[in-house]
Structure 1
Amino acid sequence: MKIAIIGCGAMGSVYAGLLAACGHDVVAIDRWLEHVDAINQKGLRVEGASGDRIARIRAYTDPPDESVDLMIIAVKAAQAGAAARHARRMLSGNTVVLTIQNGLGSAQDVAAAIGEERLAVGIAAAFGASLPQAGHAHHNGMAAVRMGAYGSLAADRLETVAAAWRDAGFNAETVPNVAAMQWEKLICNVAYSAPCAITGLTVGQVMDDPDMSKVSQAAAIEAWEVARALGVPIDVQDPVAHVRAFAARIPDAKPSVLLDLERGRKSEVEFINGAIPREALKCGMRAPVNEVLTALVRQREGLDGH
């Protein structure tokens, strides 16, 4: 299969390296020129929970004029729609697009750019990925990749994509309900994204801290309550146990919101903790815990000059 990874950051690099290592023809698109040059000159090193390997792939700063079988959009949520529009030259009539972001809202932007009939939405659980240096990705965990059709994508085409991920060593599965899949991950994201960003603590440190663990759990419970009020069929009976099990798999990880702040970049907190107050309004509720956490992260972004 010919695969394009749009956004070869920490998570995208893990996807690219493992998919290439099992024989797929992988093309990576990323704006970080040093990273692109390192990949082309030395290969892409991926190490951590999956082992240690160097994958030979092609990397570009702009999408080349060639079509692919599968396009994986792995940029941050705020950039997903623009990235999809920018990469449309790589689409053919048979291309499946899988967009993988944290939070809620980005899939609609991608669908508007490339059409809902070819779109699948994915989530990646408990990876804890980072880029120690250009051309080198590390990940702390490798729990699961789940994906579902956004609109009318046929089940057999979605299963072909999932099988490619499984062949690469991922625990990949298809799900019938995209909304439930997203909310089950979002409950974990809100528990650690903003709390870690505000404090600088890792996921495990927030889970174990006597004060921040209460904040983390309150954010998760609030998101769980909103999902239930909206009628989303989530399979989570105990949100606290749900987020603690998530953290136990990647205790040393830093969420992407914290990593963005450390690197002087605007975070995607508006799509994670910030999504809960917006969704709460749809069912006549408020989400004050996540509203305050989002405001605190925004204040940090402002102080850091974003």
Structure 2
Amino acid sequence: MARIAILGCGAMGSVYAGLFAAKGHEVLAFDAWPEHVAAMNRDGLRVEGASGDRVVRVSAATTTAGAAPVDLVVLATKARDVAAAARAIPPLLGPGSSVLTIQNGLGSSEALAAALPSAHVVAGIAGGFGASLKGPGHAHHNGMEKVRIGELAGPATDRLRAIAALWEGAGFRVAAEDDIARLTWEKLICNVTYSAVCALSGKTIGGVMEDPDLWPVARAAGVEAWTVAKARGVPITVADPVTHITEFGKAIPNARPSLLLDHVAQRKSEIDAINGAIPREAEKAGIAAPVNATLVGLVRAREAGFA
């Protein structure tokens, strides 16, 4: 059995922690929410939804200070918190430790590799989970599509395949990939389609798809992201962006994207790493991305009133 640390044990992190612990791995769950940490230590962590329903024991804390090295660190914080989280990782690292960073949007793996010895770092993408926290110590997820992992550069390695085997053994659908950057963009196209529009409207992914006013806006954001990826020379395999984003949405119609959950909780979101990445990348290609730029402006304006 492996010793696994989940750093950022929020909605998605709790799903990871719950399934790993259910298979007998030693799981250390780190999160900044004291009530969540206290509930996990007192009552166990409950994870329910597409993977079943279980309560597992984990060792939870708000800080990594004094922690011993682990085999695998899964960094599951919001993209905006990666730089701060990187400072908490060193106590968890031994010579053979790997750090798998799984965030939405662009830039997290590069930021983490700049803050830590890059040899430790691998990148991941989680799709189709639709996870949320129902309360302290209680996570739910609507789907369970796939976890894809890759080296920051180059094809899959033996190290990567060993990490993939850990995830697969815990019940996840997982793939060790040769080109994680391409796959990151293919997921980003879906993220930008729904994230900002769901947050601004308060609707689920399915609700946006069914709305005759919102769906054209969301669809345009996704198509624009696809256009920017092509202009930047990213070797995406998506031939038809509308089919791509529609199939993604149909798989998890009841899901509420993380941006919406942040707005419900009056928290600032990771809009800059998701929709905000598209205008930045478009500028590098000498083109504009007005749909996503407008959505980013609207989200930022709303978040100006958040704490």
TM range (shorter): over 0.9
Question: Match of 1:61?
Answer: 62
- Per the alignment, residue 149 of structure 2 pairs with 147
Residue 31 of structure 2 corresponds to 30
Q: Could you tell me which of 183, 186, 189 is aligned with 2:185? A: 183
- How far off is 1:305 after superposition? 2.7
Moved more, 136-145 or 237-246: 237-246
- Corresponding residue for residue 137 of structure 2: 135
1:196 to 192, 195, 198: 198
1:48 alignment partner in structure 2: 49
User: Is the 1:2–1:68 contact (alpha carbons within 8 Å) kept by the matching residues of 2?
Assistant: yes
* SS class of match (1:86): coil
Q: Which whole-Å CA distance do the structure 1 matches of 2:187 and 2:177 have between them?
A: 13
The answer as to whether partners of 2:6 and 2:29 remain within 8 angstroms in 1 is yes
Displacement of 1:87 in angstroms is 2.0
Q: How does 1:1-306 map to 2 (within 5 A)?
A: 1-63=2-64, 64-151=66-153, 155-302=157-304, 304-306=305-307
**Which string of whole-angstrom CA distances, capped at 9 and with x for unpartnered residues, describes residues 84-115 of structure 1?**
22121110111010000000011111111212
Question: Which AA in structure 2 matches 1:4?
Answer: A
Displacement of 1:153: 9.2
- What's the CA shift string for 1:166-201, capped at 9, x where partnerless? 111111001111210110000000000000011111
Structure-2 separation of matches of 1:263 and 1:188: 23
Flag the 1:132–1:214 CA change in 2: closer, same or farther, 3 A.
same
What secondary structure sits across from 1:284 in the alignment? coil
Percent sequence identity is 55
Distance 1:151 1:59 in 2: 33
TM-score scaled by length of structure 1: 0.98
| Cα contact 1:145–1:171 (8 A) shared by 2 | yes
Q: Distance in 1 between matches of 2:86 and 2:175?
A: 23
Instruction: Out of 226-235 and 132-141, give the one that drifted further.
Output: 226-235
Unaligned runs of 5+ in 1: none
Question: Is the CA contact 1:117–1:151 (under 8 Å) kept in the aligned structure 2?
Answer: no
Deviates more, 1:131-140 or 1:257-266: 257-266
Report how many residues are paired.
305
What is the deviation of 1:152?
7.1
Distance 2:261 2:267 in 1: 9
Mapped partners of 1:90, 1:157: distance in 2: 18
| Contact map agreement 1:7 1:74 (CA 8 A) in 2 | yes
The CA RMSD over aligned residues, in Å, is 1.1
Output the CA distance in 2 between the equivalents of 1:82 and 1:152.
27
Checking the alignment, whether the CA contact within 8 Å between 2:156 and 2:177 is kept in structure 1 is: no
TM-score normalised per structure 2: 0.97
Specify every segment of 5 or more residues in structure 2 that has no aligned partner in the other structure, as ranges: none
Q: 1: distance between equivalents of 2:193 and 2:77?
A: 22
4+ residue segments displaced more than 6 Å: none
Paired residues of 2:154 and 2:178 also in contact (CA < 8 A): no
Distance 2:243 2:209 in 1: 11
Cα distance in structure 1, aligned partners of 2:211 and 2:45: 36
Q: Which amino acid in structure 2 is aligned with residue 43 of structure 1? A: G
Q: Is the 8 A contact 1:18 1:168 kept in 2?
A: yes
C-alpha contact (below 8 Å) 2:130/2:143 kept by paired residues = yes
2:47, 2:53 within 8 Å by CA — same for their partners in 1? yes
Distance 1:239 1:153, change over 3 A: closer
CA distance in 1, matches of 2:177, 2:259: 27
